[in-house]
Structure 1
Amino acid sequence: MASSSSLLVRGRAFALVVAVALVAAPRRINGGAAGPAARTNDPNWHVFSVSSLLPSSACTASKAASNSSALGVVHRHGPCSPVQARRRGGGGAVTHAEILERDQARVDSIHRKVAGAGGAPSVVDPARASEQGVSLPAQRGISLGTGNYVVSVGLGTPAKQYAVIFDTGSDLSWVQCKPCADCYEQQDPLFDPSLSSTYAAVACGAPECQELDASGCSSDSRCRYEVQYGDQSQTDGNLVRDTLTLSASDTLPGFVFGCGDQNAGLFGQGEGVAAVAGRAELRPWPGGRPSLPLGGPPPANAQFTALADGATPSFYYIDLVGIKVGGRAIRIPATAFAAAGGTVIDSGTVITRLPPRAYAPLRAAFARSMAQYKKAPALSILDTCYDFTGHRTAQIPTVELAFAGGATVSLDFTGVLYVSKVSQACLAFAPNADDSSIAILGNTQQKTFAVAYDVANQRIGFGAKGCS
């Protein structure tokens, strides 16, 4: 089973195509479950082998990643992860409870940002900051939670490879650089500007510097940046430009990114961040906005929904309008999602969050269909769990998400359940604390889909079986 995904990069259409897959989709199995007769031919049910619940320890490349111009996107904890392959000296595997706790921290940070907490930053000259007893104002980001997905990108000439956190919720791409006043430990050598023939610093007066929410000017007229994430992680450094290599056939000269020389926090083993946040970040800025510019045609089978207006340009917003369980629409108040401010689609959030008045009927409908299975203890934020011990095959109802404009996305089996072990398979949705907090479509529900961020046409598409 695959534990990878792919980011297709074909041309410069500025339509971001992301295929997110943590494990392969299980096949429908022509065999009976240990219990009621398996609904093998019923399109409203998933029938799967219980042995397929847990991911493989072996890395199998995603089919979508076979294209020579594709940029691989893999789960940080999966067998295909370059971070896992490079780990030294143990440190212990992260637990599912820890993953979900960090996920909640990220969700809380998104909710705070959407609600407008923190206020607008001001600009301070960092060259005089120490004299005045103040620090460079921060461009505030959301909690990374150490990041769920990583990509390997090349920087400089000749290109050096770096495993960076891939995040649609961050605004600035950056890596750790030499010379570094305070950097956390990483596996690869820090990016060394002196070894690249195409490196250049960005001047204070450059458009790229002025476009940052918060920037300053060093004593030698270099553009300085600082980002403080919601989990108190921080990066501080120079804004620079150099050649970005996405694949053997796809390079981008003059890519603008942060060269961090003071970095600390919960970045795990990631060597920086590949940021693709907000609709503004993917259009061709005159000077080259410091985010990751990616392009490619949307998948032919994609169902599209229009991008919606949101409270902040740092996120992508869509209109989730309904949910079906086992082919039947559940009763959700018509205003449930609009009253919460809409829905954010986020690559860094693991579990989809819903307003309580949308989650409650989803949970109830799913639970009614699972009455034949023994209940299992709750897992952190997940309160609807089942024990499949003793079953050779199992079956769960399909879950479909309906979006504005008629797009209906039938989730893969792996997008319905979050599995810690065979004896604890949980409905992969959770409620927000209240009905006024925005809904978030997490990456578990995006598994196996090619998700097309078609910014030029202001829409997002979901292509089934985008990768496996």
Structure 2
Amino acid sequence: MSHINRFKTSSSSSSSESDIQTQVNGTRGAYVIELSFGTPPVSQIGIIDTGSDLIWTQCQPCKECYKQNVTIFDPSKSSTYKTHSCKSRACYALGISQYYCSTEEVCNYYYRYGDRSQTSGDLATETITFNSDNSRSKGTSLANISFGCGHYNSGLFNYSGSGVVGLGGGPLSLVSQLGSSIKGKFSYCLIPLSKEGNFSGKISFGINGQVTGEGVISTPLIKSYPSTFYHLTLNGVTVGKTKIPFNRNGRTTAGNIVIDSGTTVTFLPRDMYSGLSSALEEVIQGEKVEDKSGYFQLCYKSSNGGDDLNIPNVTANFDGGDLVLKPSNTFVEVSEGVVCLAFLPSTPPIIPIFGNVAQMDFWVGYDLEGGHVSFKPTDCTKA
């Protein structure tokens, strides 16, 4: 949620960490999983976010919290909760601008996202349990996982989630804390917005996280700073026979876009966005309207979610392969009778981002050891 050294904790589990596989549900442009904190376990709902590292949930006592559908976690009732000291490796792993020390020598964290949402509280360790999507399995419990116990949380978070599960490349992310047990592999399959509430996708770690089979497109992961972000190289996009380069001069810089499950829309450089929107306007036969919220820039009147507009496919020309995006990956219904292009121009400090709408109905796999991200067209309601 950028629009928000491996760090290894000791952990034990009821089954292998590489067996973690659980349902992903869509909610208002975000994707969430159910997981439990503490002993005894208390169910929480976390946004899966490859654009940030920290795992956190709202905690009692709540000094400033938003309303959530599930019980707020109370660490005083857990036998496995333990705060990190200011001198712990986990505290240092936050980075100098994201922690401060209280008089009790507890490591306090402060985390801010690109959309100005924020969370702060105590950095601690806890047993986290992932529900299994297999009815024969009780799920997987991981001990001593570092997380943020959030006492002050505000911004664009809503009742459908209680926190964030950071899946970035930094030391405090779930992926890094799982360490070698998952061999640097995880994947997810996100259902379309139109099917939220009726169907679920899934997320998998380790062996189950490998994307294989016919139709797989792979593109290199480019290492960059900060380590949180997963950088890919996008050469351009194509609409019909019109090719729009990433840069006006046609030169491509490696690692020029970040793939982010925690950001809804896709952000492109301004010139590239202008070229894309112009190419689409030339093809789409429909009545242009304004987005009443003022957020989206290219919108059309539609009586059935855009199916009547003959929206063309948009091909994302990644280094290593072309990814064909269907109309459901590029246009979203923002209000009754209005659909808008789910792409926007990126203006500093927003960087180019490949958002989650563009990733819907793809099995998206990350191989951090192999150094690539793979996409496979998939009906995620059946994955």
CA contact 1:150–1:166 (8 Å) conserved in 2: yes
1:212 aligns with 2:94: yes
CA contact 1:340–1:355 (8 Å) conserved in 2: no
CA contact 1:340–1:437 (8 Å) conserved in 2: no
Q: Kindly, what percent of the aligned residue pairs are identical? A: 33
- Specify the alignment match of 2:122 in structure 1: 238
164, 169, 187: which one aligns with 2:51: 169
Query: Aligned residue pairs: how many?
Result: 329
Shift in Å, 1:433 = 4.2
Task: Give the unaligned 5+ runs of structure 1.
Answer: 1-9, 14-67, 78-146
287, 298, 301: which one aligns with 2:210: 298
Mean alpha-carbon deviation: is it higher for 262-271 or for 152-161? 262-271
1:73 aligns with 2:24: yes
- Specify the alignment match of 1:28 in structure 2: none
Q: Cα RMSD between the aligned structures? A: 3.4
Cα distance, 1:397–1:158 mapped onto 2, change above 3 Å: same
Task: Give the unaligned 5+ runs of structure 2.
Answer: 1-14, 132-137, 182-202
Question: Counterparts in 2 of 1:28-39, with a 5 A limit?
Answer: none
CA contact 2:333–2:340 (8 Å) conserved in 1: yes
When normalised by structure 1's length, the TM-score is: 0.62
Question: Counterparts in 2 of 1:65-464, with a 5 A limit?
Answer: 70-77=21-28, 148-214=30-96, 215-247=99-131, 248-269=138-159, 270-278=161-169, 280=171, 281=173, 282-284=175-177, 294-295=205-206, 296-301=208-213, 302-326=216-240, 328-332=241-245, 333=247, 335=249, 338=252, 342-371=256-285, 373-378=286-291, 380-389=294-303, 395-405=310-320, 407-421=321-335, 423-433=337-347, 438-464=351-377
Cα distance, 1:193–1:438 mapped onto 2, change above 3 Å: closer
Cα distance, 1:205–1:232 mapped onto 2, change above 3 Å: same
CA contact 2:129–2:142 (8 Å) conserved in 1: yes
State the secondary structure of the residue aligned to 2:224: coil
Cα distance, 1:228–1:402 mapped onto 2, change above 3 Å: closer
Mark the structure with the bigger radius of gyration: 1
Cα distance, 1:422–1:235 mapped onto 2, change above 3 Å: closer
CA contact 2:20–2:204 (8 Å) conserved in 1: no
* Cα distance between partner residues in 2 of 1:285 and 1:69: 10
* Cα distance between partner residues in 1 of 2:275 and 2:112: 38
* Cα distance between partner residues in 1 of 2:44 and 2:218: 33
CA contact 2:312–2:326 (8 Å) conserved in 1: no
State the secondary structure of the residue aligned to 1:198: coil
1:358 counterpart letter in structure 2: M
Shift in Å, 1:274 = 1.4
* Cα distance between partner residues in 2 of 1:339 and 1:437: 17
* Cα distance between partner residues in 1 of 2:221 and 2:228: 13
